[in-house]
Amino acid sequence: MEKRNLRKERIGVVTSNKMDKSIVVSEVKKIKHPMYGKFVLKTKKYVAHDEKNDCNDGDTVRIMETRPLSKTKRWRLVDIIERAK
């Protein structure tokens, strides 16, 4: 039996769902500045595959790394953690 590689997972907030079967997920990290010590917010955007089109703006979701599905899509939706209020 073949052993499957571990896939990276990220948790973020959906910022756009205007595409068909695709969402844009933003992950915000607090990183300490190396010289000044101040915490800076860094944002990273991922384009993820949403097969059922069930995500809305503001939802907190978990995405998983996958094979390239298009030019920019390398992630897919695993589950919706929390719906937007």
pLDDT in tens, 17-53: 999 999 999 999 999 999 999 999 999 999 999 999 9
Fold of the CATH domain 9-82: OB fold (Dihydrolipoamide Acetyltransferase, E2P) (2.40.50)
How much is the average pLDDT of 72-83? 97
Distance of CA 54 to the CA centre of its chain: 15
Q: Does the pLDDT of residue 1 top 80, yes or no? A: no
CB neighbours of residue 60 within 10 Å: 14
pLDDT of residue 17: 96
Paired sense of beta strands 22-32 and 9-16, if any: antiparallel
54 near 79, Cβ under 8 Å? no
| 55-77 pLDDT, tens digit each | 999 999 999 999 999 999 999 99
- Residue 47: the pLDDT is 98
Tell me how far apart the alpha carbons of residues 22 and 68 are, in angstroms, rounded to a whole number: 13
